[in-house]
Amino acid sequence: MKYAVFIFFFIVASCQDVKRPEAPDNLISEAQMVDIMTDAYLMNAARSVDIRTIRKEGISLDSLIYAKFKIDSLQFAKSNAYYTNDLNTYNDIFLKVEQRLITEKANRDTLYQIFIANKEEERKLDSIYKAKIDSMAIALPKMSRDSLEILLDIENAKATPLLQSGISEDAAISQDSLL
């Protein structure tokens, strides 16, 4: 018990003379600090997803951040130490970083949904293409599959400019029969 009281007073006495760092001459602005911290969080996420490739390629993610923002590690460390002493400012920085990351995730999710929809559309079109080839193979059994694909591609190439011009394929066929 006697030692616990001694340790408590030692800790209290040693905490009395905490020096706050002064603003460095090359202090990174709050706005740039938000940019840096956002990229740092994204790069940490990249590390957790695929650290093997990053190491294999010899990529130094920290160096990329420093080069991108034209800062060095000491400037970042001093600026970060300065901002950590004002918890309100540091909290504001992290709230802005969090909001950017949420916005970035929403944008990427939207792009991913568009990508998935396009892949599904390609799959459907590929299925239709294969079905057309199969039906042509039944109608023209002596032609090779490659020849049928070429024939279908030629037919699609003829129809595409007509469809883009607003002329229906049926109307184009009837016009071709008149010629």
**3-class secondary structure, 9:** helix
Rounded to an integer, what distance in angstroms lies between the CA atom of residue 135 and that of residue 152? 11
Cβ-based neighbour number of residue 126 at 10 Å: 10
Residue 66's region, left for phi above 0, alpha for psi from -120 to 50, else beta, is alpha
pLDDT at position 124: 82
Query: How would you class 49 by CB atoms within 10 Å of its CB: exposed for 0-12, middle for 13-18, buried for 19 or more?
Result: exposed
Residue 61 in tokens? 């993610």
Rounded CA-CA distance 169/161 in Å is 10
- Give the tens place of pLDDT for each residue, 119-167: 888 888 888 778 877 777 777 777 787 777 787 777 766 655 544 555 4
Taking the CA atoms of 142, 145, 150 and 156 in sequence, report the sign of the dihedral they define. Answer: positive
Residue 56 CB partners (closer than 8 Å, separation 6+) = none
Q: CA–CA separation, 133 vs 143, rounded Å?
A: 11
Q: Which residue has the tokens 């034209």?
A: 70
pLDDT tens digits along 46-77: 888 888 888 888 888 888 999 999 999 999 99
pTM tops 0.75? no
